[in-house]
Structure formats: structure tokens, C-alpha cells
């Protein structure tokens, strides 16, 4: 009778075998990149339309992921189900597009209409397949042949190694296209505005307080009036400025340090001059880093002409999901 410990040991061995099998295939592909890779990049970069990615079954799942990665990294792309293509959706494919078709065997019956359509209308077609002499490879303009490595399962039939290689090759295409197009962090944010990923690319200008919401006093403002302004705006800080030029800031700490004779002083006498500042185009995460580094709860925002234009509070960063 097999004990729990024996089962666990056997399961671990299986997992290691699977991972090693797939890693070996990826290493083989990295050492001998499929011929035609650069031609594939040229075709996709030269397309005036989109990259149409298609596959059936497990290859279809991989194709969806490749299309999504391409689209999110600056290469217009969409997934087209081969079955739906045969029932009207071929109309989505134009002569300005390039097709990227996946089939491990290269003989997937459901892909035939899509293959014929690309040949009829001279639409560039890139194939990802394991069989170099397959119909898909022969009909394609560029065939990217996957390494002929065994599947990771014991019966050698479940798509495992082959799908991992196809997915990795799709990533290689997408990231190469990303670099060819000069797709940078700013562009990435355009396609990823939501969630924590989107928050990482938010700018100070996206969340800063400005206009009448700013607690601004002049150097000559009495401390009595300054305290009223600080209380009314609720940030625990006041900007001391004149003609939109930031002179300094007054915080709760400045108030405590100047308790003696505080009400007889003016804002310019109490303020900390030349405070740390942020700029509107600064990443929100970078501004938060400044506040953490200098142990401050708010930071004034100045533009390229050193004019006061906003205020960023640490709570604004937290509400935006930057932490």
C-alpha cells in the first residue's frame, strides 16, 4: 500500500520531470532560434493593419494569449477563432493584416479555410508549428518550426512542451516588436490604466490638488491667518508663495518649533525655505519615494518654471493604489 509520504515523493518527481522537459525544450529553441524569426518581425512591423492570431484547441488558448500580449505592448492584434472564421468572421481579416497561425501538427482541419483565405487574397501568413513538412508550414510565407521535443506527459500526447514553446515564441515575437516600435513605459500605461499596474504609471498631475484647493499664504501673512488657511484646507501644511513662486512651507512641525511668539510672527519667518518639491510629470511612485525618504506627509508641486501648481498628499498616493 502506497503511503502519503510515498505519494508525495512520487508527485514531486513528476513535477520536476515535467518542468525539466519543458525547460530543455525552451533551451533548445533559444540555442537555435527558428529560421525566419527576423522575417516574421519584418512582416508584422510592415503591416498597416493588425496581426490576426488564430489556433484551435490548446493552440487556440496560446494564440489568445499571444494576441493579448501583442496588443498590450503596442502591436495591434486580435484573436480569431478558426471555426468562427469559416462562418463569416473571415470578413474581419483585411489585406492590410498579417496572420499568425498556430498548429502543433500543422494539419488542423479547422484552419484550412483561414489558410486558403490568406492565399487567395495574398495576406502574409506566419506559421508556428512543430512539423516542417506540414500543410500549414508549406502554405505559409514564413514558418517558425518548434523544436521536435517530446511532450512532458507520460503518454506523450497531452499538449505540454509544445504549447510552452509556442507561448514562449509568441512572447519573443511580441517583445521584439515592442522594442522595434520603441514602446516605452508611458505607452504601456495607455493600455494598462486599471489596477495596480496602471497605478504604477500614474503621474503626480493625475491626482494632485490645485487651484482654490491649495493652502497658499504670502510671506507677509500673519500666523493667525495662516493657521486659519491651514485648518480650512485640511492638509496640515501651507505653501508660502509670492507671485506663484514657492518660498517655503509651513508644517505642524514648524508650528511646534516656533511656539514661543508664534502669533507675533508672519508666515515668512516661520516657514522652512526651499522645501522638497515634485513636478507634475513625475511618476506618482517617484513622488511617494521622495515623501518616504524625507519623512514628509505632503509635497508641493512646481512646474518647469518653478511656479507653484499643486500639492500632493501621501493619502492621495494610497487612494490611487501606489504604496
Which pLDDT score is estimated for 185?
A: 63
Average pLDDT of the chain to the nearest whole number: 91
Rounded CA separation 33/51 (Å) = 21
H runs (alpha helix) in the chain = 4-31, 37-46, 58-72, 82-85, 112-120, 135-139, 161-180, 185-191, 195-199, 204-207, 223-233, 252-257, 267-270, 284-294, 314-319
Is the model's pLDDT at 190 over the cut of 90? no
Does the predicted model carry a pTM greater than 0.75?
A: no
CB 54 within 8 A of CB 78: no
Domains of the chain: 17-183 (3.40.50.10490), 204-319 (3.10.580.10)
Which pLDDT score is estimated for 192?
A: 57
State mean pLDDT over 237-254.
93
Is the model's pLDDT at 229 over the cut of 80? yes
User: What percent of the chain shows pLDDT beyond 90?
Assistant: 79
Contacts of 41 (CB under 8 A, 6+ apart): 173, 176, 177, 180
Least reliable range by pLDDT among 24-28, 94-98, 153-157: 153-157
- Name the helix (H) or strand (E) containing 99: strand 98-102
Which DSSP category does 16 fall into? H
pLDDT tens sequence across 256-277: 999 998 999 999 999 999 999 9
pLDDT tens sequence across 277-306: 999 999 988 999 999 999 999 999 999 888
Amino acid at each position: 500500500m502506497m503511503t502519503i509520504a510515498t505519494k508525495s515523493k512520487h508527485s514531486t518527481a513528476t513535477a520536476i520531470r515535467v518542468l525539466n522537459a519543458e525547460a530543455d525544450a525552451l533551451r533548445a529553441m533559444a540555442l537555435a532560434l527558428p529560421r525566419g524569426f527576423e522575417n516574421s518581425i519584418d512582416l508584422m512591423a510592415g503591416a498597416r493593419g493588425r496581426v490576426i492570431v488564430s489556433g484551435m484547441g490548446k493552440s487556440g488558448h496560446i494564440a489568445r494569449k499571444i494576441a493579448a500580449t501583442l496588443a498590450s505592448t503596442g502591436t495591434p492584434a486580435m484573436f480569431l477563432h478558426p471555426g468562427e472564421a469559416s462562418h463569416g468572421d473571415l470578413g474581419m481579416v483585411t489585406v492590410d493584416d498579417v496572420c499568425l497561425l498556430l498548429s502543433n501538427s500543422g494539419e488542423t482541419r479547422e484552419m484550412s479555410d483561414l489558410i486558403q483565405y490568406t492565399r487567395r487574397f495574398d495576406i502574409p501568413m506566419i506559421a508556428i508549428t512543430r512539423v516542417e513538412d506540414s500543410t500549414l508550414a508549406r502554405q505559409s510565407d514564413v514558418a517558425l518550426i518548434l523544436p521536435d521535443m517530446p511532450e512532458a506527459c507520460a503518454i506523450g500526447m497531452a499538449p505540454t512542451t509544445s504549447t510552452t514553446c509556442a507561448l514562449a515564441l509568441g512572447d519573443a515575437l511580441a517583445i521584439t516588436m515592442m522594442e522595434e516600435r520603441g514602446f516605452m513605459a508611458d505607452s504601456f500605461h495607455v493600455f494598462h490604466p486599471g489596477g495596480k499596474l496602471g497605478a504604477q504609471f500614474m503621474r503626480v498631475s493625475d491626482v494632485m490638488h490645485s487651484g482654490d484647493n491649495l493652502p497658499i499664504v504670502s510671506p507677509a501673512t500673519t500666523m493667525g491667518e495662516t493657521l486659519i488657511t491651514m485648518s480650512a484646507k485640511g492638509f496640515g501644511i501651507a505653501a508660502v508663495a509670492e507671485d506663484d513662486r514657492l518660498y517655503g512651507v509651513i508644517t505642524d512641525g514648524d508650528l511646534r518649533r516656533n511656539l514661543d511668539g508664534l502669533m507675533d510672527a508672519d508666515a515668512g519667518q516661520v516657514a522652512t525655505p526651499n522645501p522638497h518639491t515634485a513636478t507634475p510629470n513625475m511618476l506618482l511612485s517617484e513622488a511617494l519615494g521622495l515623501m518616504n525618504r524625507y519623512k514628509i506627509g505632503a509635497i508641493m508641486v512646481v512646474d518647469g518654471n518653478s511656479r507653484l501648481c499643486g500639492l500632493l498628499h501621501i493619502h492621495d498616493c494610497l487612494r490611487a493604489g501606489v504604496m
